[in-house]
Amino acid sequence: MRRPITASTRIAGVVGHPVRHSLSPAIHNAWIEAAGLDAVYLAFAPRPEGFGALAEGFRGGVVAGLNVTIPFKEEALALADRASPAARAIGAANVLVFGEDGAIEADNTDGAGLMVALAKAGFQGGAEQGHAVVLGAGGAARSAVTALLAVGAARCALVNRTLDRARAIAGGDPRVSVHGWSEAAAALQGAAVIVNATSLGMTGQAPLELDLDPAPTSAVVMDMVYRPLQTDLLKRARDRGHPIADGLDMLIAQAGPSFTRFFDAPVPDGVDVRALCVAELGARA
């Protein structure tokens, strides 16, 4: 049962704009309850220009930490005093930890979450497996490219509408090639893993029109979009016999390390947060 909230209850939360759609409160509060912690996890939606003031006001541990989502991830990194190598490499933070000494630490767990979801589907990384294809060139794509190269993908083909954004991620790295959508079919040939890191296919967005036929059916197909959970891309991939990974597994995996940082406690065993999130998604559909 949930413990009563008192003056000593530890607070953490998610910050974004909008944030009402976030599944993070459901995930963290389920873990808090199962672990019997004197803690609560909330959602904050400051005005877009108000994020800096909100975060500055939390210095000193007023809240223990924040998960950060669109559109504040870059600003979160910029205002932190210290940043993990992952946050620096990606150029954005999805976790802020507010130390009692007044310092703000930034981290980025999106890439680690992606790799957990891919590993569940059988992708371990390594140059021998083949190249990676990442669709998109926003923050999610940047975290995917960074994580995939870190686990040894020999090459990463980046496909995006706006080539300059993709070039900015590649940054001249010879392992990363940049392509428009007209070159997607060629990029898919021989791929070991295909990651949708665009918002295409999300409820209310344009569909993701990608013909998977050029890709080998051994390629793991991952969709970061989890609203709907079974995207059109994942349905078509499953029908062709690809191993698939969904965005919900990534979301849950990226949440774990932040829970431990915020509440000084391991993620409790035996909580089916995936089922909880699936129910929430169903309820909100």
Residue from the set 247, 256, 259, 263 that interacts with ligand NAP by CB under 6 A: 247
Check binding of 136 to ligand NAP (CB under 6 A): yes
Which of these ranges, 38-46, 136-144, 150-158, 263-271, lies near ligand NAP under the rule CB under 6 A? 136-144
Strand blocks (E) in 16-112? 39-44, 65-68, 82-83, 95-98, 104-107
Instruction: Write the binding mask 68 to 107 for ligand NAP: x where contact by CB under 6 A, - elsewhere.
Output: --x-------------------------------------
Check binding of 225 to ligand NAP (CB under 6 A): yes
Residue from the set 138, 190, 214, 268 that interacts with ligand NAP by CB under 6 A: 138
* C-beta closer to ligand NAP: residue 64 or 253: 253
Which of these ranges, 27-35, 183-191, 195-203, 275-283, lies near ligand NAP under the rule CB under 6 A? 195-203
Check binding of 111 to ligand NAP (CB under 6 A): no
Under DSSP, is residue 82 helix (H, G, I), strand (E, B) or coil? strand
Q: Rounded to the nearest 10 degrees, how much is the dihedral formed by the CA atoms of 278, 266, 110, 279?
A: 10
**59 vs 54: CA distance, rounded Å:** 9
Check binding of 5 to ligand NAP (CB under 6 A): no
User: Residue by residue, what is the 3-state secondary structure of 228-257?
Assistant: CCCCHHHHHHHHHCCCEEEHHHHHHHHHHH
Least spacing, CB of residue 284 vs ligand NAP, in Å: 15
- One-letter amino acid identity for 160? N
Name the DSSP letter for residue 158. Answer: E
**178 vs 175: CA distance, rounded Å:** 10
Which of these ranges, 29-37, 120-128, 130-138, 276-284, lies near ligand NAP under the rule CB under 6 A? 130-138
**240 vs 139: CA distance, rounded Å:** 29
Least spacing, CB of residue 93 vs ligand NAP, in Å: 12
- One-letter amino acid identity for 215? A
Active site residue 73: yes
User: What's the burial of 83, exposed, middle or buried (CB within 10 Å: 0-12/13-18/19+)?
Assistant: buried
Pull the structure tokens for residue 227.
Answer: 């609203």
Residue from the set 19, 137, 193, 221 that interacts with ligand NAP by CB under 6 A: 137
Least spacing, CB of residue 136 vs ligand NAP, in Å: 4
Catalytically active residues are 73
Which residues contact ligand NAP (rule: CB under 6 A)?
70, 110, 113, 136-141, 160-162, 165, 197-200, 202, 206, 224-226, 247, 250-251, 254
